[in-house]
Amino acid sequence: MNEFAFAIHGGAGVIDPANFAPDRRQACAAALRGIAERAVAALAAGRAALDVVEQAVVELEDCEYFNAGYGAVLNGDGEVELDAALMDGATRAAGAVASARRTRNPVRAARAVLDDGEHVLLIGAGADAFAAARGVECVDPAWFVTDERRVQLAAAQAEGRVSLDHDERYRDDARGPAWSETERKSGTVGAVARDRAGHLAAATSTGGMTNKRPGRVGDAPLIGAGTFADDASCAVSATGHGEYYIRRVLAHDVHARIAYAGATLAAAADAALAEVGRLGGTGGLIAVGRDGDAVLPFNSPGMYRAWYAGGRVHVGIYADPETD
């Protein structure tokens, strides 16, 4: 039994090493390591899992390498629409926002929804207004938009495709056209934790898919699809092509396999992700269990991730540590 557990992801996808500039790779890995080490220190000091996953996702949202908050991908109108959720495994309280455009850190808006307790999911202008009224920082929608995202959107629109984040940076990888559009999907950030009191929590935040239809909502803010936590089983945050995760209710599927069928965390996570794969969906998930185990399976070539095990933080991008 591990006293506490922690994992984060920064999205999954093709992430071909041959097209991944070493300085960018190192910067991504260093960002993940720093965020995970601060979170682990907070858990070691006795901080609550819910607070720790919220803070980790705030830091990931503020990091432009990842598709959430500042630097998130753009929809078909060239604007950001941000989705986020978090869930407390102790109380099974949850809060989420979808299609927010003005809230600097959407996970903070989700936390305000959770703390308020009346609703679980707020969308669009209502979500932004609620967050502002609760003292969550608001910004002009243009603040989120980076030059890199404008270029990415222009490329997606020129090819008439709707896609997720990381893959597009690596479109000309070694497998070239052998990668299907679905395999190229990725993005998003998330965190899961078990604290020293045995409580679990999960949080997820994303800009969704590049060139998505305005108004499209992915799996991240849908409790049970991209985000779920229950002290009796596990805490889960997913990344990948959200439509498949919604159709498989992925995060709740991991919980259900543990709670109802007695599966181990690893078996439940693998089996739930395999169901997504059977539909044609790629990506991954991170999960911690009630005993403090952490698993990070993915069926795409890479997933940005960091986790705590054996007394230290590990960082990975590819399946094979040799290429990390």
Q: Does 302 bind ligand ASP (CB under 6 A)?
A: no
Reading the block at residue 137, the tokens are 């920082």
- Do 35 and 182 meet the contact criterion of CB atoms below 8 Å apart? no
11 binds ligand ASP (CB under 6 A): yes
Rounded Cα distance between 98 and 233, Å, is: 26
Mark the segment that binds ligand ASP (CB under 6 A) among 43-51, 154-162, 239-247, 305-313: 239-247
Catalytic-role residue among 188, 204, 227, 239:
188
Count of residues that interact with ligand ASP, criterion CB under 6 A: 19
Across 113-132, b (16+ Cβ under 10 Å) vs e yields bbeeeeebbbbeeebbebbe
Is residue 240 close enough to count as binding ligand ASP by CB under 6 A? Answer: yes
How near is the Cβ of 285 to ligand ASP at its closest, in Å? Answer: 10
Q: Which stretch binds ligand ASP (CB under 6 A): 240-248, 260-268, 274-282, 311-319?
A: 240-248
Report the residue from 211, 237, 239, 299 that binds ligand ASP according to the rule CB under 6 A: 239
Residue 311 Cβ vs ligand ASP, minimum distance, rounded to whole Å: 30
Q: What letter does residue 288 receive in the DSSP assignment? A: E
Written in H, E and C, the secondary structure of 4-32 is CEEEEEEEEECCCHHHCCHHHHHHHHHHH
Active site residue 227: no
Residue 310 CB partners (closer than 8 Å, separation 6+): none
Catalytic residues: 188
Give residues in contact with ligand ASP (CB under 6 A).
Answer: 11, 67, 164-165, 186-188, 206, 208-209, 218-220, 226, 239-242, 283
